[in-house]
Amino acid sequence: MEKSLPLPLEQQARQAAPKSHVRRFLWIALSLALTLYWTFDAVHGYASKQSSSDSALKAACSQPAALFPTTNNEALQRMWDYLSTPAFENASIVRHSGAVQVPTQSYDDLGVIGEDKRWDVMYDFAAYLEATFPLMHKKLKVEKVNTHGLVYTWEGSDESLKPLLLMSHQDVVPVPDSTVDAWTHPPFSGHYDGKFIWGRGSSDCKNQLIAIMESMELFLDAGFKPKRTILLSFGFDEECSGRQGAGHLAPFLLERYDDNGIAAIVDEGAGMTTAWGTTFATPGVGEKGYTDVHITIRMPGGHSSVPTDHTSIGVMSELITAIEAEQYPTFLAEDSPFLGLLQCGANHAPEFPKKIKKLLSKHVAANTCKAKPDFLALEAAKMGPSTQYLMQTSQAVDVIGGGVKVNALPERTTVTVNHRINIGDTPEHVWAHLTELAKPLAKKYGLTLHAFDGTKEAALSISLSPSETTLKVAPITPTSIDTLTPYAIIAATTRALYGEEVIVSPGMMTGNTDTRYYWNITKHIFRYGPGFDPSWDKGMGRIHTVNEKISAVNHFNMVKWMTLFVRNMDDAKLE
């Protein structure tokens, strides 16, 4: 748009009212010059902003050089060489297979530890670890927290260095009896077929636990003496929200090391994958929030031969339909790790979609308004649900119950709706949304609405209440590589092991890990499974379902990564 002349010149023009052709020519020339100046200024300003946007995009996702330990000796070199020998690989397969064979299943309805006998299998697993890794149990401090939580402490020589904490969990999701015959190999056999180790927990996540233990045992055997204290913390009920395991372990360690007293945490999480013609490592630097919402409808009962027009089951069905009909918005918050992954793809992946790259450039140039469609997120979501739900709060109606007899009207119907909350969203927003959906139904059927007011249920009502495991979106881990940060060491260690053609990018978890309890102990939390087998890039190895398995090469590489990372962290003077 052209700019109007400044008011003083307009006034002068009216006052002058040039009569001669010369004056009129001079006035037209002046007007044209000013118009051209302001037009050029506007165009140049836009071009500068666009150039700045392009530069910002190109500057994103810079990569650190591969990092190798600076200190070395013959024993540590022999240890490193040993990790690539058949002797180590065969022994490692046996150790991991043995761990899978202990059926450490955790259930949502587990009772009190010491009373519910289903917990007792954890004694067997602890005994297996002690027999398999004797040096650790002889030379390190081993503590048990809330009976089955395990803490190993290897004291470093330099008390000024914050400790490194490596984590995993001992438990696995249950295997339903009805699915056992669908497994290629029995779910707790730990069968090795020459390429894969099969069984529940083989990739979620006893592989990470055993890899950590193997690296520590080998370090002890090699005479390694760490400067930085190394801590291991293994929960035992992560698969049912971790309240008994990590829920006790985190306060135990927090009391000992104080707020922000740990240098970094590495726990299970996102790994490595190939996308857009490039291999990406995506350590999780954030994870979504969580809330289960329990809904109960209480309505009059009676004999089914004289039914009411609508039962509690029918009304609940209507509410479920309303819930599923309205999805949460898809958007990318400015601090979303997935935005970082897209920037990495745009800069480093030859097959990165051109349309997304164009939208990404515009997204960088402006602050996206949440009230308007986020076209970048909507376009990226077309890649599939696993991508979509990195940018959207999910909802899943998972549990329902109602009615007790065919000739009795159901007086009580219940539903649980699971939500994983997007970065930039909150549990309170989810609760408000569900409340708005329930209001018209309560009015329609003459029911009282109790929405998140502390009333779990009442006669003739719709009641909504949150679960005890409600969780806000996790704090985002810093990902700068301008200085020697834990993220920079994670990235540089990964590129040292797998090659500098691997691009390390911020990743995000759609689910939650035991790290939910450790937010206060460090700002540097990484949910990362660093094992990788380039010949079998199939994601997460069918975790939580039939035929869970892991490539043996993936497991060997995880042990190698752990040994490199521990030594790189030990050498580091963190900023």
Q: What are phi and psi of 321, to 5 degrees?
A: -60, -40
Q: What are phi and psi of 401, to 5 degrees?
A: -155, 140
DSSP lists the bridge partners of residue 272 as 281
According to DSSP, residue 244 is labeled T
Per the CB < 8 A criterion, the answer to whether 425 and 439 are in contact is: no
DSSP lists the bridge partners of residue 463 as 296, 450
- Tell me if the bond preceding 205 is cis, omega within 30° of 0: yes
The rounded distance, in Å, linking the Cα atoms of 158 and 324 is 56
Per the CB < 8 A criterion, the answer to whether 311 and 408 are in contact is: no
Q: Which of 506, 490, 365, 357 is nearest to 423 (CA)?
A: 506
The active-site residue out of 214, 217, 237, 238 is 238
Give the residue ranges of DSSP H helices in 17-100: 21-59, 74-82, 86-100
- DSSP three-state, residue 357: helix
Residue 171 is a catalytic residue: yes
Q: Which of 167, 381, 417, 183 is nearest to 268 (CA)?
A: 167
User: CB-based contacts of 310: which residues, under 8 Å, 6+ apart?
Assistant: 299, 445
According to DSSP, residue 215 is labeled H
The rounded distance, in Å, linking the Cα atoms of 179 and 161 is 49
The rounded distance, in Å, linking the Cα atoms of 457 and 449 is 10
Q: Which of 148, 130, 128, 147 is nearest to 139 (CA)?
A: 130
| Beta strand extents in 352-443 (DSSP E only) | 394-402, 412-421
Catalytic machinery residues: 171, 238
